[in-house]
A and B are shown apart, each in its own frame.
Chain A
Amino acid sequence: MSVSAIREAWQESTKRQRRGKLALREELQFYLFISPWLVGFILFTAGPILASLVLSMTDWSVLKKPDFVGLANYVTMFTSDPYFFKVLGNTIYYAGLSVPLGIVLAFMISVLLNQKLVGITLFRTFFYLPSLVTGVAVAVLWAWLLNPQFGLINHGLRLLGIEGPEWLYNTKTAMPAMIVMSLWGIGGTMLTYLAGLQGIPEHLYEAAEIDGAGAVSKFFNVTIPLMTPVIFFNLIVAIIGSFQTFTQFYVMTNGGPANATLVYVLYLYRNAFEYFKMGYASALAWVLFFLILALTVVQFYLAPRWVYYEGDLARR
């Protein structure tokens, strides 16, 4: 009796050992498989984050040795940099208009495109196609469209008897022009809405109809509440993207006229790669990061007030 018990215990322990060995092997394999990312993370993310933090507390122009200056860069930014608040204001102006306008416009178009109509696939392609034109190509195209003398937009206005403004050459119209351009590329946002709209179960609309809801009531009481998670997602992505906008501004206006379109990342780029103020540029990067983080956190904090998740029992 006792012998068999011992044997059992012994077998159990070897089994556990074997399992332990297997688990260890699996663990090793795990680290082997993720090693590309792990190396990349250490070299290109974690390391640079630490380096950037240190750099942001130095005065460094690449050629000289860095001087440690503590928080002086951050103090300069908020007290004596003549451009910082201008740049921040420009970025908020751009984000504050392009994001909500883009979100609403893309939503309205996606509702139109969600109908069962003949040729609807073709219309979807038409609205999506412009968003494939990105980067420098969209900048080059819109600089041409906005050309005060020969651009299509002012040609069109002339047909209506209006002499169009100088768009990118006027401090008042440059930023609005950039915002309008950003709306041209909302195709991607539109597609995420469309996918969301197609995921709304038909029976909810039927139930609403039985309760006597008309089209308008169905839209506001079924469509919009069920779409709030998608709207929320797009809002977060759009805000982050709009604060990081660079290419179009660099190519089309390079910050002009009179710094009216000098946006955050463009200013950061100039500090780093034109004035070689690596320390100051790093500090700018950290402030940008915390701005984005703060905006995102605030949105997650506000989300429970308006974002509706199906199956969210806590709300009832």
Chain B
Amino acid sequence: MQSVTSARASLGQRSERAHWRQSIRVQRMITTILSYFFLTAGSIIFLIPLIWMISTSLRPEREVYKYPPKILPDYFLWKNYIKGWNILPFTTFLKNTLIITLSNVTGNLISCSLVAFGFARLRARGSNVLFMLLLSTMMLPYEVTMIPQFILFTQILKWGNTFRPLILPAWLGWNFGIFLLRQFFMTIPFELDDAAKIDGASTFRMYWQIMLPLSKPALATIAIFAFMGNWNNFLAPLIYLRDMSKYTLALGLRMFQGQYAVHNQHYLMAVSVATLLPILIMFFLAQKQFVQGIALTGIKG
């Protein structure tokens, strides 16, 4: 008697559990389907502007201003890239941008790592106060120091229309880079320093031969963000560079947009895509450092 009821009870339980399990499975399937739906729809919305940029850049002129438009042109006109590039001296702009960007990446890597090493590894009175000062400068908008810097560079030093005002500051440290590297250096065990000291290594050798080789991921992150920031920088070159022969790509693109855009959208898009290429290539080559760097610092380029 008892066994029958218990069996019945367990049977009920089992069917209930199976039912529950099935409902979970259905729920999970619905979630997956909905997720794919939203992910696909969202991806299309996010990618269409990019696709449109590239497809415009490859159209013949009559197809640029046609209604209804096609998402993809009938054939790809790669010539647009060469033509667009030569409407303004973009080769010069590229050269200028490369000079400024590469110099600043190098300058940032050297100066930030030196300063970060000092803050992370050397004891001194006043170091905490100075570090707080460094952190507080990260809060300061560029606009506050921009005008006196402009006066210093153009009126006092007479460096207007040269790359110097755009390059020199990078060799004197970059607060975000210093902060990031200092945090990274702090994670490297101090025992290494002691061992090096016992072996008679100088402080500079500790920096050069122990810290730097161990900090490659952090240095890569800084290089990437310094590259992006300088490559896209607009306000500072706009203020300092006057002659077209000194323009960077960003200034050149802006000039193109201002003067020739009305009937040359295909060329404008071609040049835009071309200026983005180094960044896109860098992203696909160093995706890991990219993603980690953003996750770590919150800098978004």
Q: Which residues of A contact B (CB under 8 A)?
A: 23, 26-27, 29-34, 36-41, 43-45, 47-49, 51-52, 55, 62, 109, 112-113, 115, 117, 123, 126-127, 129-137, 139-145, 147, 149-150, 152, 155, 158-159, 184-185, 187-189, 191-192, 194-195, 215, 233-234, 237, 240, 243-244, 246-247, 250-251, 265, 268-269, 272-273, 278, 281-282, 284-286, 288-289, 292-293, 296
Are A285 and B50 touching (Cβ within 8 A)? no
Chain B residues with Cβ below 8 Å from A282 are: 147-148
Residues of A within 8 A of B296 (CB): 195
A30-B123, A145-B49, A155-B67 known; A285+B141 contact, CB < 8 A:
yes
Task: Find residues 180-229 in chain B having any chain A CB closer than 8 Å to their own CB.
Answer: 203, 207, 228
What are 29 A-B contacts with C-beta separation under 8 Å?
A27-B123, A30-B122, A33-B115, A33-B207, A34-B114, A36-B172, A38-B130, A40-B111, A40-B173, A45-B137, A48-B152, A117-B35, A129-B50, A132-B301, A133-B276, A136-B234, A141-B269, A150-B67, A150-B265, A159-B68, A185-B300, A191-B291, A195-B296, A246-B234, A269-B235, A285-B141, A285-B147, A289-B143, A292-B141
Which residues of B from 138 to 154 have beta carbons under 8 Å from A? 139-152
Q: Which residue of the partner chain, among A39, A137, A150, A194, contacts B253 with CB atoms under 8 Å?
A: A137
B residues less than 8 Å from A131 (CB atoms): 300-301
B52 interface contact, C-beta 8 A? yes
Residues of B with C-beta under 8 A to A142: 49
Q: How far is the CA of A49 from the CA of B145 in the complex (A)?
A: 6
- Which residues does chain B contribute within 8 Å of A117, judged by CB atoms? 32, 35-36, 39
Among B39, B171, B295, the residue within 8 A (CB) of A36 is B171
Residues of chain A contacted by B68 (CB below 8 angstroms): 155, 158-159
Q: Report B's interface with A, CB cutoff 8 A.
A: 27, 31-32, 35-36, 38-39, 42-43, 46-50, 52-53, 56, 64-65, 67-69, 111, 114-115, 117-119, 122-125, 127, 130, 133-134, 137, 139-152, 155, 169, 171-173, 178, 203, 207, 228, 232-235, 238-239, 250-251, 253-254, 257, 261, 265, 268-269, 272, 275-276, 279-280, 283, 291, 294-296, 298-301
Contact (Cβ within 8 A) B143 A268:
yes
The answer to whether residues A48 and B300 also contact, given A33-B122, A36-B173, A112-B38 and a CB cut-off of 8 A, is no
A23-B123, A132-B279 known; A272+B47 contact, CB < 8 A: no
A113 close to B147 (CB less than 8 A): no
Whole-angstrom CA separation of A19 from B17 in the bound complex: 73
A88 CB, nearest partner CB in chain B, Å: 15
User: Looking across the interface, which residue of chain A has its beta carbon closest to that of B47?
Assistant: A126
Whether A52 lies near B46 (C-beta < 8 A) is: no
Q: Kindly list chain A residues whose C-beta atoms are within 8 Å of the C-beta of B144.
A: 48-49, 52, 285-286, 288-289
